[in-house]
Amino acid sequence: MMRVYQWLQSHHHHHLSAALMAVAIVVLLLSPAAIVAVEDENSNSRSIISRFQEYLRINTAHPNPSYNEAADFITSEAKSLSLDSQILEFVKGKPLVLLKWAGENPSLPSILLNSHTDVVPAEFHKWDHPPFDAHLDPSSGHIYARGSQDMKCVGLQYLEAIRNLQSSGFRPLRTVYLSFVPDEEIGGHDGAEKFAGSDTFKSMNVGVVLDEGLASPTENYRLFYGERCPWWLVLKATGAPGHGAKLYDNTAMENLLKSIETVRRFRAAQFDLVKAGHKAEGEVISVNMVFLKAGTPSPTGFVMNLQPSEAQAGFDIRVPPTADVVSLERRIAEEWAPATRNMTFEFKQKGSIYDKFGKQILTAFDSSNPWWVLLEDAIKSANGELGKPEIFPASTDARYFRELGLPAIGFSPMANTPILLHDHNEFLNKNEYLRGIHIYESIIKAYASYVEPTKDEDSRAEL
């Protein structure tokens, strides 16, 4: 075959037609070696997608996630990669799988790649394909499954990236840990929170944590340096009960409705900043009413001729770490639940926006944080494009590591993908999944090879 190509090059006369050159190229491409290479690549891709589908088919949805089945699958994959694995059970029946790829210099701070094994429930009848079948649509390449975006993709991409790095002969300088944690979708209290506070975690000497991000509808990948903190607020109004026909001031319902309207105006003002493009969703305080509770129950519903003496409304508030929380607390006490209107309030949950050192829970995203710079460079060198750094609009397990003062970065390599976490027909395209593995190869290689500059090098850089 090589001789044909050389002959073509040496006899490149004017009368040699472009058609002949094209035929030669086709012959070259159809050589046995080229066909084998393509077949190997296709076979490898099929195996990778098949493993992803196998993980997606394990039903880890609440309220009864098959955690043990997921743990067995992960430990089996770890074994195939010769990774050390252990099962930690901070709470019985909720296994946390911890894998270790030992580095050549274990004294250096390690890398932690975190993902959660649980997923949210799915309404089966609202899906085009059953949510735990991991159906691969042959025409679009979409893999439909609960957890395809949130976040079984990331957990398996870590493993596939390590598989590829091992095949290439790469050896990590730093130790790389992978944690597959339970319960993230219900707060992470029996998973990542207990893990972050454990002696096991302290002994790991973690230097940086990678956790989940969000899909991006554009070409740009999204990186998250912080997240909004949940405040779950209940407003309660009281008043004298009264006949359903009587008009009087300060009824419980009237007082609560005034508060709801005040909250609604605040919500609209915050939302307007997002709609106008002045702020990203993660940068504003979001408030959404999640329940209303009032009325006097009767055997057929509610008593219709009685005004109740109590009424409540619940709100899911998300507070960015950059917010003025003192002013927000004052607003709640004075405007949303004023005592003068027989109003009281309580927090069902109220996270802090400060870490254990009293600093805002934010990961630096400038040159002061080498892990951020390494991550950006690694993504770009793998031909990924980046949008501007963001605050995650909801909550992830990353907060438990940031609370310890550790840099934690949210990232899920899903570009050109609609955001479907917790939605019906959640899917991830197989090519996007495969591309994400390539991105993680670049990141893990950069992180696991990182050598901190000496003080002399730092001084020279400043000069």
Domains assigned to the chain: 42-223+365-455 (3.40.630.10), 229-350 (3.30.70.360)
Q: Binding site for Zn(2+), residues?
A: 116, 150, 185, 212, 422
What pLDDT does 455 receive? 72
- State residue 454's pLDDT score: 80
- Is 329:347 a contact under the CB 8 Å cutoff? no
Verify whether residue 334 is a known catalytic residue. no
For residue 25, what pLDDT is reported? 46
Which pTM was predicted?
A: 0.85
CA distance 229 to 402: 12
Residue 112 in tokens: 């932690």
Catalytic residue among 118, 211, 403, 432: 118
Q: Check residue 42 and give its pLDDT.
A: 84
Q: Which two tokens stand for residue 454?
A: 């000496």
Active site residue 272: no
Check residue 14 and give its pLDDT. 44
Find the catalytic residue in 77, 160, 183, 184.
184
Give me the residues of the chain with pLDDT under 70, please. Answer: 1-41, 456-463
Q: Per the annotation, where are the binding residues?
A: 116, 150, 185, 212, 422
Residue 3, pLDDT score = 43
Task: Say what the pLDDT of residue 43 is.
Answer: 84
Q: What are phi and psi of 409, to 5 degrees?
A: -120, 130
- Which tens digit of pLDDT belongs to each residue from 260-318? 999 999 999 999 999 999 999 999 999 999 999 999 999 999 999 999 999 999 999 99
Strands in 390-392's sheet, in edge-to-edge order, are 84-88, 96-101, 176-181, 110-116, 206-211, 408-410, 224-227, 390-392
Q: What does the pLDDT read at residue 276?
A: 98
Q: In this predicted structure, what is the pLDDT of residue 319?
A: 97
Residue 176 near residue 446 (C-beta atoms within 8 A): no
Pairing of strands 408-410, 206-211: parallel
Cα 200–Cα 225–Cα 449 angle in degrees, nearest 5: 60
Q: Are strands 96-101 and 84-88 parallel, antiparallel or unpaired?
A: antiparallel
pLDDT of amino acid 132: 98
